[in-house]
Structure 1
Amino acid sequence: MPINSKRFTLSALSAAVISAASVGAYAQEAGSSTLEEITVTGIRQSLTNAMDIKRDSAGVVDAISAEDIGKFPDTNLAESLQRITGVSIDRSNNEGNKVTVRGFGPNFNLVTLNGRQMPNSSALQSEGITRSFKFAEISAESVSGVEVYKTGKADVYSGGIGSTINIKTARPFDHDGFIASASVKGVMDTSVEKGDTVTPEIASMVSSTFFDGKFGVLVAVSHAERDSRSESVNTQAWVPNYGVADTSAIDRSKNPDGTYWAPWTFDVDASDHQRERQNGQLVLQFAPVDNVTATLDYTASRYDEQVSMNRTSVWFDTSAGVTDSNGTVINPSVQNDELNFWAWNYQFVTENDSVGLNVEWAATDSLSFGLDVHDSTSHSQPGGTPAETIANTKNPGKLVNVEADFSSGSGLPGISFDDSALAGGAFAPENIVSDLFQERGLEIENSIQQIQLDGTWENLDGGALKTVKFGIASTDYQVDAYDSQSFAFVDLGDLASLGIDFEQRGDFGDQIGSNSGLFPLLADYEASDFIDAVKASGQYFQATPTFDKVTEETLAAFVTADFETEFNGYPVRLNAGVRFEDTEVTGTSIQNGILGLSFWHDEELREINDDTPSADTLDGDYTRFLPNLDASISLTEELVARASFSRTLSRADISAMFPSTSLDVSRPGGPFNASQGNPGLLPITSDNFDLSVEYYYAEGSYASVGYFKKYVENFIGATTEERVIYDVNGNPITDPSINPRPGCPDSTGSNPACFGTANDPVITWNVGTPGNQENAEVYGWEFAVQHMFGDSGFGAIFNATLVDGDVEYDVYSSDNVFALTGMSDSANLIGFYEKDAFQARLAYNWRDD
């Protein structure tokens, strides 16, 4: 089965080229005239600190600290995290965005900020509504450290079967007196065609304490811009048994059913990106008495990305071709068709805000309590502006013959076409007419309110039991999603008569162009101009929006205990704990009732709704016990062996739990696809086993090897059932296009004869619903070496993670519905030099298929 699309970035050289200028000022106590102490920190010290965290932690924990975060060539926190063993990243337009840990993708990892769960929102329908955190929205400069918990802990919020990643930000009490720093970077991206080749990244932080260290204030701000361009050749889908194909070359020993896959489209895209990111943090700390410390913090981020994209493409609606031995149609062709010229305007705006209060009280020498409360919100597309504006134009009539060539293996595909029947050619403006417009997007507000009250008892009288930690926590997780979209075929005439700024471009970079076997030109115009023309013509149409809401309330209680003892003279440390969680889920969808379908266009059956919103509500609930047991033994002062067991969970994506039934695709003659969410989905749970040996042989130097295995249950997959869907009056929805009445199709909506009636054929819909289906085993090895070459200033890091499991995707099956995306091997090689006032680092990151 062929890969769904083939993408690459052209001429993209992204490097930090303007060095950061940092200045620090430290204040001593009043009246002091000399500097009493100088503390030197750097890459070596930060790596040593991270090593100490790993060594001293119960369970398997990896970390990075402030000096090692945000260093070139990192442009955000994700790119810093990928240096950790077992962590690899997904990139968006060549910039780190989401993380994968031990083969489990972004949706399986929980991200917390100072121990608090963080919300997420997205404006794109294609991304769905997930829980995965976007690290591209967070600059690295304001972060003081990151801890990656690869094994579960009873006192850590649940939600990640891959890992829990805790981002720690700076506090004024972390520093004595006054400190200030600033940095300026420049990022060069040579792919830019619309925008600036060099864009700035600016960050600053000021912190000070007052009143003999009883009150502290910290302010941190950053601003980053980036312009870039991406170009790609792809298809929107590979469809099984689509069109007509000669299958005689298929190897039946691998593909016994002779299933073949044909491309739905052939697309050549060029996208120009402009991204801005602002981060800010205000932290106030107050210690009125020695045994009480209160911290109030506010963290904000603003992310704005705008993309202008153009595409030249062809639809292989009735294709013919020949397959290779796997079943891939390698030379699809279509006769008497047309070329399509698309334009996209994307605008993604996300506003993240978090306010938190933490109070620590040492009640006695052995007993302390903590209260932590926060209210955090992620809001995409405030105001409901559509995230995507799309326009399509095409050649008039069916006068173009097209043939593609996918036989080049890993090389670029090719395409050829005959447009001789069009006077002036397929790309002449007078031969490009309007086709359709579309606006779509999500406004999402994801809010999380959490409160945790915990206590810690320390045994001051000796004995194996050292500490006991206990607590209760409440999490109110809520998502409100407003889904708006407009879609209609329109007749505006040709582009030349519309006054739209239209340009024929052929500068596709070094690989895409007239000599590459691809479309020779790109029809360059703005989708927003096309929408303006549609509105001026009176043909603008907006579908009835829908509102979906999911509320998830979790009450948790936990207890954990630390022990220190000896076994045959070897020091042993144990941590045992259990977390109990009770979760209730309510999903609500509000939308206008469906009256039926209207035969609107040769390629469109339009959904017709009434004006009365109604609500559908479904509920679900579950309880889980999440135990953990961690043990480590010091075989020598340098050699540590570790074993861990934990049970962790990940919850379903939010968009999988909306209860409403949505009519996704309805075209004359089919397909007829619909979808419905399932608030009753159970969480994915994993029983995790870890074994490791770690050798700490010198200051800042160590080597480790570890083995892990995860037994995962309740993976969520797609289920499909065929069923009739009923309108608001309880009647089955019918197809008015089978036996069209006079005057149909009618795109004006004024002909009632084009509306479905009880005499038309009843539609049987393919309704997709998510369900808990699969179990899997995932296992692997982790290797790491960190070495400091004495006092030379040189150091090196190497780590690698090898992941495998019984979840291999069957590329020859058209029925397979389960795959663990993100599972791949990864490795990092880092060399650095730091001495006197000079620092340098070279990092190589590798990730397998």
Structure 2
Amino acid sequence: MSNANFKLNAICMAMLLTSNGVYAQQGETSAEASDLEVINVTGIRSALSKSASIKQDSSGVVDAISAEDIGKLPDTNLAESLQRISGVSIDRANNEGNKVTVRGFGPDFNLVTLNGRQMPNSSALQEAGVSRSFNFREIASESVSGVSVFKTGKSHVASGGIGATIDISTAKPFDYDGFKAFASVKGVHDSSVDTGSSITPEVSGMISQTFADGKFGILLSASHAERDSGRDRVGTSNGWVRNRADPDGVDASAINTNNNPTGAYWVPWTPEIERFDTERERQNAQLVLQFAPNDRIEATLDYTMSRFEETSFTNKQAFWFDNPTGTTDENGTLVNISNVNDELNFWAWELYEKKENDSVGFNLKWQATDALRLAFDIHDSTSHSNPDGQTAETLANLKNPPGSVALIGADFSGEIPSITVDDSGLTGGAYNPDNIVSDLYQLRGYEMENNIKQYQFNGQWDNLEDGALVAINFGAMYTDYQIDTYLSERFSFVDIPLDNLGLTFTPLGDFADQFSGANELFSFIPNYEASRFVDIVEDEGLFLAPDITTNGVNEETTALYVSFDFSTEFNEFPIDLNVGVRYEDTDVSAYSVQPGILALNYRHAEELRPLFDDTATAQELSGGYNRVLPNFDFSMELTGEIKTRFSYSRTLARAGISAMFPSTNIDARPDGPFNASQGNPNLLPITSDNFDFSLEWYHTDGSYASVGYFKKFVENFIGAGVEQREINDVNGNPLRDPSVNPRAGCPDSSDTPNPACLSQASDPIVIFDVSTPDNLQNREVDGWELNAQYMFSDTGFGAVANYTLVDSDESFDPYDFDQTIALTGLSDSGNLVGFYENEALQVRVAYNWRDDFLLALGTEPTFTEAYGQWDLSINYEINDTFTVYIDGLNLTDETVRRHGRFAEQLISAEQYGPRYSFGISGKW
């Protein structure tokens, strides 16, 4: 959606929309700030009224959301709730909020904590990478009492977020007076489901009780959720490659050489259609025990767990452009592509992810004197993906006999490609099972374990005498962060019988019908199971031993902090100040264990595969750094209704885990490209000096308006430094290319390497493009946050609108082929959220919009196009105990489209469909 369309929607909805319970929460200045006060209210209007007063009293920039009541966060997903906050936007996976971007900084630049504790994360899917950021899909919103977003740095807040530190708060028994209980039963209908259940259950509940005159408390919460979903995808695999095709077969006459002086052109590897059917289960539980023998001591022991299991079954119809010819557009994109004498490919995938998260923590608070408060907190938390070593990815491919399809082609000038297949030379056509043979299989297991041990000591001294000094806060923290990954891969081209595979084909029907041109795709999509294909491979005795690589990183960080709170007046204007500094020292060590490379094997016309030694060897590298992180928060009341703020802080984000693995990985093809990568554990953290200014006007009855400006000076951005060099084998000799002058019998796809197809001393030495992460550049990011909240007197209606503009001093230049650094996630965003409520009925309508942004920058970039979504929530209170409700997400069936360097370079066009939930909840 364009900016103009968004503004038009804003005007049309301004009189209808209201808040989601988002409020700015006062920035804590005490050592107890990890226990931020999140006010639970009943009713949206009450939440909005409190949001205005809390925002007015705060120092620093801290926004938050809270449950309207226990078990009633404003959205069904934490990420979906967070996107309602100005400056916060999300990316979606499978039609669900997944990753959070704050002020233009993506998930790797934000730190997520649970009750003030840094939480681990793991993933069983290799393409998901190793992220430090906790994934919001793994925790049910019903178990959360509030979420706080620290947009500016605080000395007492754990470092790791340049965009923000996001703290998730859960309930404790002492939060309630005596007995409290909640239960909810929900049915979820996902309109995208083809093969799963049309309605899946979600059940949650909590019970809390205090005993012995409030000295002892116990709380137990639990939830179980199932979801079946589907997804239609049209796209390409492995992106678009610059200058891949033979230039003699490319008509580049349309290229605008003023923009593209070298006449570069881009070709995709494949056009494809893909159907996903996904099954997911999630369980959450928390047990909290609290003990307060007197009014000076409070002890809390808690255990938090989550279990997450997801399986996706995928079939894909595609073909591979081996020798493409065609015509470019003015940008250089080969939009009209054809390939003669080729074949179709029929893929099947199975993706499996199982995650077990467990956290045990203990917290002790002691009011040592009337002026001195002390607190100690310890937790040991682990996230373990595919802990039993289950295979995370299984894939298989079938194809027509090579060269049997006379012509394949695709026109990429539209929203999705128009496909051409001339299979007239095949009796019965390309989809006749008699004209289909086996091609390849691959198994990939990716077990990962992330453990965090953290110890925190905090103190606060309150000045009980007169004076500007209000309090001194101090503390220390030690964090031991350990992550270990285990990658197992099997890959081989095979020739097996397909009689028992169960291959069928399905007409597309309404596949991807929200995209123009959906009727010009392939005629059919295949149906078969990748696991069945692998079973046949094993029955035929063609199952290869796996290649195994182990990687790990350990970070140990010691931090000390102190801060001072002041409250005074200047020319009769009330002023609040918080001045603090945090010192951190971090030691990093990383290791990789992998077999050494004996030679390159010319095994296939499209593959030069490393041949590994049977003995694994270890590589170890280390690094370290220390940083001083100051902060300064100032606020002044100009009048009873107008307030201004200024904040300065220095924050940091640590290097990505995968970037620090020492292992060397090779991806080579005959005639190139010859790519390799190696990690760097000596990377410095990315640091940012942050400046915030805001002016706020507070009216009566919870209505206010504010405008804020922020500026970030960011240093040490990490990019891919590419070095052209040789890579040695286990004997110290450079690897050589056996495909340049192939010997008789090569390539040879047999499981036992043919010695004639291996690197020999007479072959030319390969010069690899070795990519190594490095701290390369600095950036400046600035933006505006605009907020307005208005209550329409006592009518029950209200409106909230916010808009965020973000910009950088250097944007991505599509014609700069040497650019290795760009800020991912940078985009404008906006929200309109509205409600009507009376004593029994609550109706909330929400629209969220995000402009296009750079999703990833590898060899070639990936952009996500602008996206807007309408959501609806209706609650009706039957009585003081029971409430019935219905929610609708993505009501207008919006789609997601991603592209490469230019809009016509389609990467992925995905269609999900709306999702609805309905249920009943009770509270006692």
CA distance in 1, matches of 2:767, 2:48: 61
Is contact 1:492–1:498 with CA below 8 Å preserved after alignment? no
Secondary structure (helix, strand or coil) at the match of 1:843 reads: strand
Q: Establish whether residue 766 from structure 1 lines up as the match of residue 769 from structure 2.
A: yes
Secondary structure (helix, strand or coil) at the match of 1:80 reads: helix
CA distance in 2, matches of 1:259, 1:740: 30
Q: Which amino acid aligns with 2:133?
A: S
CA shift for structure 1 position 532: 0.6
Secondary structure (helix, strand or coil) at the match of 1:255 reads: coil
Is contact 1:505–1:524 with CA below 8 Å preserved after alignment? no
Q: Which amino acid aligns with 2:259?
A: K
CA distance in 2, matches of 1:261, 1:821: 22
* Residue equivalent to 1:147: 148
* Residue equivalent to 2:711: 709
* Residue equivalent to 1:489: 493
**Equivalent residue in structure 1 for 2:442, among 438, 441, 444:** 438
Superposed CA offset, 1:780-801 (max 9, x none): 1101112222332222211110
Q: Which amino acid aligns with 1:174?
A: D
CA distance in 2, matches of 1:183, 1:840: 19
Is contact 2:274–2:315 with CA below 8 Å preserved after alignment? yes
Q: Establish whether residue 290 from structure 1 lines up as the match of residue 299 from structure 2.
A: no
**Equivalent residue in structure 2 for 1:416, among 403, 407, 420:** 420
Superposed CA offset, 1:280-312 (max 9, x none): 111111111220101111111111111111111
Superposed CA offset, 1:27-79 (max 9, x none): xxxxxxxxxxxx97222223334444433332111111111797588221111
* Residue equivalent to 1:520: 523
Secondary structure (helix, strand or coil) at the match of 1:331 reads: strand
* Residue equivalent to 2:193: 192
* Residue equivalent to 2:214: 213
* Residue equivalent to 2:274: 269
Is contact 2:431–2:505 with CA below 8 Å preserved after alignment? no
* Residue equivalent to 2:694: 692
Is contact 2:503–2:526 with CA below 8 Å preserved after alignment? no
Secondary structure (helix, strand or coil) at the match of 2:204 reads: strand
Q: Establish whether residue 404 from structure 1 lines up as the match of residue 407 from structure 2.
A: no
Q: Which amino acid aligns with 1:622?
A: Y
CA shift for structure 1 position 189: 1.4
CA distance in 2, matches of 1:360, 1:671: 60
* Residue equivalent to 1:15: none
Is contact 2:418–2:517 with CA below 8 Å preserved after alignment? no
Task: State the TM-score, normalizing by the size of structure 2.
Answer: 0.85
* Residue equivalent to 1:468: 472
Q: Which amino acid aligns with 2:389?
A: G
**Equivalent residue in structure 1 for 2:337, among 329, 332, 337:** 332
Q: Which amino acid aligns with 1:355?
A: V
Secondary structure (helix, strand or coil) at the match of 1:738 reads: coil
CA shift for structure 1 position 740: 3.1
CA shift for structure 1 position 510: 6.0
Secondary structure (helix, strand or coil) at the match of 1:610 reads: strand
Q: Establish whether residue 363 from structure 1 lines up as the match of residue 400 from structure 2.
A: no
Q: How do 1:826-845 and structure 2 match up within 5 A? A: 826-845=829-848
**Equivalent residue in structure 2 for 1:258, among 255, 263, 270:** 263
Q: Which amino acid aligns with 1:373?
A: I
* Residue equivalent to 1:342: 347
CA shift for structure 1 position 348: 1.2
CA distance in 1, matches of 2:59, 2:767: 56
Q: Establish whether residue 136 from structure 1 lines up as the match of residue 137 from structure 2.
A: yes
* Residue equivalent to 2:800: 797
* Residue equivalent to 2:254: 249
Secondary structure (helix, strand or coil) at the match of 2:535 reads: helix
CA distance in 2, matches of 1:644, 1:514: 51
Q: 1:318/1:743 Cα in 2 relative to 1: closer, same or farther (>3 Å)?
A: closer
* Residue equivalent to 2:396: 391
CA shift for structure 1 position 817: 1.6
Q: 1:414/1:848 Cα in 2 relative to 1: closer, same or farther (>3 Å)?
A: same
Q: 1:527/1:538 Cα in 2 relative to 1: closer, same or farther (>3 Å)?
A: same
Superposed CA offset, 1:571-604 (max 9, x none): 0000000000111100111112222222323333
* Residue equivalent to 1:4: none
* Residue equivalent to 2:43: 42
Superposed CA offset, 1:490-545 (max 9, x none): 0114x3x2443434443353628997111010111111111111111111123321
Deviates more, 1:171-180 or 1:721-730: 721-730
Q: Which amino acid aligns with 2:321?
A: F
Q: Which amino acid aligns with 1:475?
A: T
Deviates more, 1:373-382 or 1:41-50: 41-50
Secondary structure (helix, strand or coil) at the match of 1:583 reads: strand
**Equivalent residue in structure 2 for 1:749, among 739, 747, 752:** 752
Secondary structure (helix, strand or coil) at the match of 1:265 reads: coil
CA distance in 2, matches of 1:366, 1:526: 68
Q: Establish whether residue 779 from structure 1 lines up as the match of residue 782 from structure 2.
A: yes
Tell me the number of residue pairs that the alignment of Structure 1 and Structure 2 aligns. 806
**Equivalent residue in structure 1 for 2:585, among 574, 582, 588:** 582
Superposed CA offset, 1:299-348 (max 9, x none): 11111111111111111121111111111111011111111111110111
User: Larger relative CO (CA 8 A, sep 6+): 1 or 2?
Assistant: 2
Q: Which amino acid aligns with 2:676?
A: A
5+ residue gaps, structure 1, are 1-38
* Residue equivalent to 1:640: 643
Is contact 2:601–2:753 with CA below 8 Å preserved after alignment? no
* Residue equivalent to 1:480: 484
Q: Which amino acid aligns with 1:673?
A: N
CA RMSD of aligned residues (A): 1.7
5+ residue gaps, structure 2, are 1-39, 853-924
Deviates more, 1:589-598 or 1:88-97: 589-598
CA shift for structure 1 position 251: 1.4
Secondary structure (helix, strand or coil) at the match of 2:534 reads: helix
Is contact 1:91–1:98 with CA below 8 Å preserved after alignment? yes
Secondary structure (helix, strand or coil) at the match of 2:273 reads: strand
CA distance in 1, matches of 2:718, 2:638: 42
Deviates more, 1:418-427 or 1:256-265: 256-265
Q: 1:70/1:323 Cα in 2 relative to 1: closer, same or farther (>3 Å)?
A: farther
Q: 1:751/1:316 Cα in 2 relative to 1: closer, same or farther (>3 Å)?
A: closer
Superposed CA offset, 1:682-722 (max 9, x none): 11111100000112212322211100011111111111111
Q: Which amino acid aligns with 1:252?
A: T
CA shift for structure 1 position 670: 2.5
Secondary structure (helix, strand or coil) at the match of 1:54 reads: helix
Is contact 2:512–2:518 with CA below 8 Å preserved after alignment? no
CA shift for structure 1 position 94: 0.5
Q: Which amino acid aligns with 2:638?
A: L
Secondary structure (helix, strand or coil) at the match of 1:742 reads: coil
CA distance in 1, matches of 2:640, 2:272: 61
* Residue equivalent to 1:233: 234
Percent identity of the aligned residues?
59
Q: Which amino acid aligns with 1:587?
A: A
**Equivalent residue in structure 2 for 1:558, among 558, 561, 564:** 561
* Residue equivalent to 2:896: none
Is contact 1:505–1:521 with CA below 8 Å preserved after alignment? yes
CA distance in 2, matches of 1:130, 1:765: 28
Q: Establish whether residue 426 from structure 1 lines up as the match of residue 430 from structure 2.
A: yes
Secondary structure (helix, strand or coil) at the match of 2:812 reads: coil
CA distance in 2, matches of 1:238, 1:597: 26
CA distance in 2, matches of 1:140, 1:514: 38
* Residue equivalent to 1:731: 733
* Residue equivalent to 1:8: none
Is contact 1:506–1:514 with CA below 8 Å preserved after alignment? no
**Equivalent residue in structure 2 for 1:666, among 665, 668, 683:** 668
CA distance in 1, matches of 2:516, 2:694: 52
Q: Establish whether residue 313 from structure 1 lines up as the match of residue 314 from structure 2.
A: no
* Residue equivalent to 1:322: 327
Q: 1:792/1:188 Cα in 2 relative to 1: closer, same or farther (>3 Å)?
A: same
Task: State the TM-score, normalizing by the size of structure 1.
Answer: 0.93
Q: Which amino acid aligns with 2:354?
A: V
Q: Which amino acid aligns with 2:454?
A: Q
CA distance in 2, matches of 1:192, 1:168: 33
